[in-house]
């Protein structure tokens, strides 16, 4: 789980520099990951439902194998462009083809891993074990950009590897994991249907740390189906979609921002970009692991506070002109998203009863993944028009969302009572009963 997430985000972090080196449009770089994310969002639920029929190990092997083949092909195509064997445009068209393999087949592994672990743990152990898996997946999205600058390789004979290095290195990691899965995991070609299923994970992307929703979807029943426009969760779904797109827009453009604002050559921008991304990830983790448990804030409070901080951070990132300024502003934006993502997950969960937890968790996961389908392309498209535009647009969107959330989001207790026809408390009493 960690390697799949780290490999994807490591490649994401170096791709702006690769695109500039190969002289392809910035929008083509974003499109490569948008297409991959779209296929992941579509294919992940399909593979999650197939593991009962084909076995958990077979699905894990399919996912890891797709991950490995995709990275190997991407590395070969990028190396061909770097060495001038094909044009930069041709290299990126082929690269997108390699990303299609990852989006289609790489998504098979996470739900199968969840199902395998869930089927081999007791009820008391299950939540802790699946949380550990989710943490590994989230940690991978942080480690990938952190170690990517150290995976830039030199030349092998007359062949220059350069910025294609992370793709080849993680392809080797994937080969090792494939062999380990083949040798160590039991062959379960005929698992018992309906025992413990896995759930689709959101696309592993920079800024897309795990919220835990996929874990809930994997262990809770789907006895009550809840739609995206169900009155109980509709406002939370809208908030999550807007907030997720704002985060995707800003995180995917930050590599280009570092290159242009600091006037660096693409290769020289890798370490500064890594510093910015690490500060953002560290700030988000500080909020989620330290500040939120300390303050014991409610979901609506998390959303409102996070939107204010996130809007400030996004706007300041777009205006920053130094590495210190970009890193600090991006960390501030990440702090804001560090509040809103758990707020979105918890608010959606508390808005419904126990029977609907699995269904709502699946919706939260799909919203988180869908944000990284169009978000990167929108952000980079705005960036090509004007460098500060994606960040100012994201900041403005978060301010507008703040006004919407102020009136639309309700105390989860009231939201849970409303569909049951219960007599609702007055405003003053509802405030007193908060939490």
Q: Which tens digit of pLDDT belongs to each residue from 89-134?
A: 899 899 999 999 999 999 888 888 888 887 777 767 777 787 788 7
Separation of first and last alpha carbons in the chain: 35
Q: Out of 84-88, 117-121, 284-288, which region has the weakest mean confidence (pLDDT)?
A: 117-121
Q: Write the Ramachandran bin of 23: left for phi over 0, alpha for psi from -120 to 50, otherwise beta.
A: left
C-alpha distances in Å from residue 310, one per residue of 30, 60, 337, 339, 365? 22, 37, 6, 9, 21
Burial-class residue 212 by CB neighbours within 10 Å (0-12, 13-18, 19+). buried
Name the residue with tokens 């707020």: 343
Alpha helix (H) ranges present in 120-207? 123-147, 165-184
Token duo for residue 272: 């500064």
Calculate mean pLDDT across residues 185-191.
70
What pLDDT was estimated at residue 195? 54
Calculate mean pLDDT across residues 12-30.
89
Calculate mean pLDDT across residues 135-152.
84
How, if at all, do strands 159-162 and 153-156 pair? antiparallel
Residue 3 near residue 60, CB atoms below 8 Å: no
**How many whole angstroms separate alpha carbon 110 and alpha carbon 46?**
12
What pLDDT was estimated at residue 421? 41
Average pLDDT of the residues of the chain? 85
What pLDDT was estimated at residue 430? 37
Is residue 427 over pLDDT 50?
no
Phi and psi torsions of 322, nearest 5°: -125, 165
In the beta sheet, which residues pair with residue 155? 160
With CA atoms as reference, report the closest residue to 255 among 20, 71, 7: 20
In the beta sheet, which residues pair with residue 363? none
Q: Could you tell me how many residues make up the chain?
A: 435
Calculate mean pLDDT across residues 353-378.
85
**How many whole angstroms separate alpha carbon 269 and alpha carbon 272?**
5
Tell how far CA 372 is from the center of its chain: 7
- Between 196 and 399, the more confident residue is 399
Tell how far CA 418 is from the center of its chain: 33
Rounded to the nearest 5 degrees, what angle is found at the Cα of 212, between the Cα atoms of 208 and 215?
A: 125
Note if the pTM is more than 0.75. yes
Who's near 353: CB < 8 A, 6+ residues apart? 224, 416
What pLDDT was estimated at residue 250? 93
Token duo for residue 7: 């490999």
**How many whole angstroms separate alpha carbon 398 and alpha carbon 201?**
25
What pLDDT was estimated at residue 352? 86
DSSP state of 200: P
What pLDDT was estimated at residue 412? 59
**How many whole angstroms separate alpha carbon 401 and alpha carbon 241?**
10
**How many whole angstroms separate alpha carbon 162 and alpha carbon 153?**
5
Confidence of residue 301 (pLDDT cuts 50, 70, 90): very high
């Amino acid at each position: 789980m960690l390697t799949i997430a780290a490999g994807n985000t490591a490649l994401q972090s170096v791709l702006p520099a690769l695109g500039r080196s190969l002289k392809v449009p910035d929008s083509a770089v974003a499109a490569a990951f948008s297409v991959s994310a779209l296929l992941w969002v579509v294919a992940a639920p399909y593979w999650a439902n197939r593991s009962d029929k084909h076995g958990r190990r077979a699905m894990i092997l399919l996912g890891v194998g797709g991950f490995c083949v995709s990275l190997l092909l991407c590395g070969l195509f990028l190396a061909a462009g770097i060495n001038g064997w094909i044009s930069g445009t041709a290299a990126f068209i082929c690269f997108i083809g390699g990303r299609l393999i990852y989006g289609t087949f790489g998504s098979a592994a996470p739900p199968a891993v969840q199902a395998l672990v869930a089927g081999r743990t007791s009820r008391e152990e299950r939540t802790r074990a699946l949380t550990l898996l989710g943490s590994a997946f989230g940690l991978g999205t942080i480690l990938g950009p952190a170690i990517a600058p150290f995976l830039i390789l030199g030349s092998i004979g007359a062949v220059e590897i350069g910025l294609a290095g992370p793709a080849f290195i993680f392809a080797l990691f994937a080969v090792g994991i494939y062999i380990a899965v083949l040798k160590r995991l039991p062959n379960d070609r005929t698992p018992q249907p309906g025992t413990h299923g896995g759930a689709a994970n959101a696309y592993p992307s920079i800024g897309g740390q795990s919220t835990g929703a996929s874990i809930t979807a994997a262990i809770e029943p789907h006895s009550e189906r809840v739609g995206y426009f169900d009155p109980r969760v509709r406002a939370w779904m809208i908030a999550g979609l807007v907030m997720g797109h704002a985060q995707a827009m800003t995180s995917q453009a930050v590599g280009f921002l570092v290159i242009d604002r600091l006037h660096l050559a693409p290769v020289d921008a890798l370490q500064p970009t890594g510093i910015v991304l690490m500060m953002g990830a560290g700030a988000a983790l500080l909020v989620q692991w330290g500040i939120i448990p300390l303050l014991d804030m409610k979901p609506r409070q998390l959303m409102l506070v996070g939107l204010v901080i996130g809007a400030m951070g996004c706007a300041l990132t777009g205006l920053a002109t130094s590495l210190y300024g970009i890193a600090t502003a991006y960390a501030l934006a990440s702090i804001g998203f560090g509040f809103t993502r758990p707020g979105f997950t918890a608010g959606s969960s508390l808005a419904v009863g126990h029977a609907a937890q699995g269904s709502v968790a699946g919706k939260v996961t799909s919203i988180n993944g869908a944000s990284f389908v169009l978000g990167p392309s929108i952000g980079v498209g705005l960036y090509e028009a004007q460098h500060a535009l994606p960040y100012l647009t994201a900041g403005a969107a978060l301010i507008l969302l703040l006004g919407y959330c102020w009136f639309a989001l309700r105390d989860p207790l009231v939201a849970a009572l409303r569909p049951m026809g219960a007599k609702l408390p007055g405003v003053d009493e509802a405030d007193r009963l908060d939490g």
